[in-house]
Structure 1
Amino acid sequence: MAKLKITQVKSSIGSTKRQKATLEALGLTKLNNPVEHEATPQIVGMVNKLRHLISVEEVK
């Protein structure tokens, strides 16, 4: 299974409560602070909902 490196690049100010909760669930607390997760269907769904706030890279 592939790993994803997820980095928050835009502020969550003005985002909905659900988007903020999803950021928290991914472990994103500060801007430009990357986290790594396995590319499970649940994580990929979260990433798709937040694609305007985050950047995603595949890690080998």
Structure 2
Amino acid sequence: MSTQQTVKIQLVRSPIGTQQSHRDTVRGLGLRKLNSVSELQDSPEVRGMINKISYLVKVL
């Protein structure tokens, strides 16, 4: 019985004016508006995406 770990992230800064790849990463994580929260499975891929845009998001 293995329960999947999840990680919650919140968009705390606007991606306007950032690199296109960073804006694409924000959308890929399921974040739309400012202060929106997304809960995703904790995986190395998701952690890498969070690390790439760490200046825009907050991990809850």
| Structure 1 gap segments, 5+ residues each | none
Higher Rg of the two aligned structures: 2
- Alignment partner of 2:51 out of 48, 53, 58: 48
Q: Identify the residue that residue 22 of structure 2 maps to in structure 1.
A: 19
Cα RMSD of the aligned pairs, angstroms, is 0.8
Q: Identify the residue that residue 5 of structure 2 maps to in structure 1.
A: 2
TM-score when scaled to structure 2?
A: 0.90
TM-score when scaled to structure 1?
A: 0.90
Q: Identify the residue that residue 35 of structure 2 maps to in structure 1.
A: 32
Divergent runs of 4+, >4 A: none
| Structure 2 gap segments, 5+ residues each | none
Q: Distance in 2 between matches of 1:5 and 1:17?
A: 23
Number of residue pairs aligned between Structure 1 and Structure 2: 57
| 2:21 alignment partner, SS class | helix
* Percent identity between the two aligned chains: 37
* Deviations 1:29-49, CA, capped at 9 Å, x for gaps: 001110100111100000000
